[in-house]
Amino acid sequence: MVHEVTFIPGDGTGPEIAEATRRVLEATGVPFQWDVQHAGVDIMEKEGTPLPNRVLESLRRTKLGIKGPITTPIGTGFRSVNVALRKTLDLYACLRPCKSYPGVRSRYQGIDIVLVRENTEDLYAGIEFEKGSPYIRQISDLCVASGQQALREDTGLSLKPISEFGARRIVKFAFEYARAHGRKKVTAVTKANIMKYTDGLFLAVARQVAADYRDIQFEEMLVDNMCMQLVQKPELYDVLVLPNLYGDILSDLSAGLVGGLGVAPGANIGDQAALFEPVHGSAPKYTGQNKVNPMAMMFSGMLLLQHIGETAAAGLMERAMAEVIREGKSVTYDMKPDRNDPTAVGTSQVADAIIAKMEELRVRA
Ligand code: NAD
């Protein structure tokens, strides 16, 4: 079956890593039909918007996309294309696998954690009141009327909405993911002892959902303790499910545990579409230099293969990438012990090495 995929090269170094990724995905033998859709700063100049409707229409049609990073210029008023895509398509689950690969420089070994972050609610919902706004007084009056403390007049306020609906769908997503990928344990991470009506609700829903998945162990953890546990014994954790803010912070912490941005893949998944992209940004200072590491986007492509059920191809691609990383020869500057190592290869040569390694593995099998 040919898989139609919306292919968004992005801007900055995005098109270079996207092209390297496309070549590796094609070399797995899985047939793809790419609907190439440009978005980002260059498109803003040509089409007046960095995210033309055609990109969203394509994603709604194919339900599947892979994307290079897109720059969010500071101070121009153009909002993040990445946030707009997640909001418009209700991509409520942010998936961030963090796995150790021998050869990636890191303080830890043997980590294989998947973070499932709720992407639409919590303090990131964008419901805010500026200091001095007349609403602050009204909300303060409401607090007093409900027997709670008044707000200081010079308060700024960000609301933290967490709904039963939002909590249920993300926790279900985490358990379904765990079941589909042979995972053993889901840990719900909250601060439910302090924020009883938001994190407490999230946890109560998590307990209910867990009861429907008796084959998977369920564990609860307070977020402060989780931070310490991840630093001390990360190898004990499997799938974590978290509200938006904790998910954002702990996914970067976990990426750091396994070697950082160069190898950190991600996906934003909803009922309408699934969009796979590296965690890192567009690294604009290296644009056009065939220099940056394409592996985070390639690992995102591997997640796409898993998502569409092409497990054998995903496995082949992962083994080839793991070997190239372990050998440490055909890797970019950021993966060398010395960043100025003259033997570092460029973006497209990493793709060549992985494609050759997949061929070698096929012959060996
Ligand atoms: P960045 O991730 O682009 O860069 C951070 C550092 O990591 C830089 O030193 C960069 O050179 C390095 N780096 C990043 N990717 C690399 C790679 N593949 N190989 C080697 N080194 C790499 O973050 P930033 O500088 O904060 O952001 C640049 C732009 O990217 C901003 O406009 C930001 O808004 C955007 N951004 C986009 C996304 C996305 O599209 N999802 C995510 C994050 C940031």
- Ordered by where they begin, the domains of the chain are 1-96+264-365 (3.40.718.10), 112-123+163-257 (3.40.50), 126-159 (no CATH)
Cβ of 283 closer than 6 Å to ligand 1, yes or no, is: yes
* Nearest-CA residue for atom 24 of ligand 1: 281
Pocket test for ligand 1, best of 74, 280, 285, 331 (most atoms within 8 A of CB): 280
Instruction: Please choose from 261, 268, 299, 339 the residue to mutate so as to test ligand 1's pocket, defined by most ligand atoms within 8 A of CB.
Output: 261
List the one residue out of 318, 320, 310, 314 whose CA is nearest residue 3.
Answer: 310
Q: 245: which 2 tokens?
A: 């803010």
Q: What is residue 365's predicted lDDT score, i.e. its pLDDT? A: 81
Query: For 216-347, where are the E strands, in sequence order?
Result: 217-222, 239-242, 265-269, 274-278
| DSSP characters over 180-239 | HTT--EEEEEE-TTT-TTTHHHHHHHHHHHHTT-TTSEEEEEEHHHHHHHHHH-GGG--E
pTM of structure: 0.94
Q: Which is the catalytic residue, given 199, 248, 291, 333? A: 248
Give the model's pLDDT for residue 77: 63
Q: Is 157 left (phi over 0), alpha (psi -120 to 50) or beta?
A: beta
Q: Confirm if 5 and 64 have CB atoms less than 8 A apart.
A: yes
Separation between Cα atoms, residue 92 and residue 121, nearest integer Å? 9
Rounded CA-CA distance 93/186 in Å is 15
Among protein residues, the one with the nearest Cα to ligand 1's atom 18 is 293
pLDDT score of 120? 94
Please list the ranges in the chain whose pLDDT falls under 50.
none
For residue 68, give the amino acid letter.
G
Phi-psi region of 168 (alpha: psi -120 to 50; beta: other; left: phi over 0): alpha
Tell me if 334 CB under 6 Å of ligand 1.
yes
Is beta strand 112-118 parallel, antiparallel or unpaired with respect to 93-99?
Answer: antiparallel
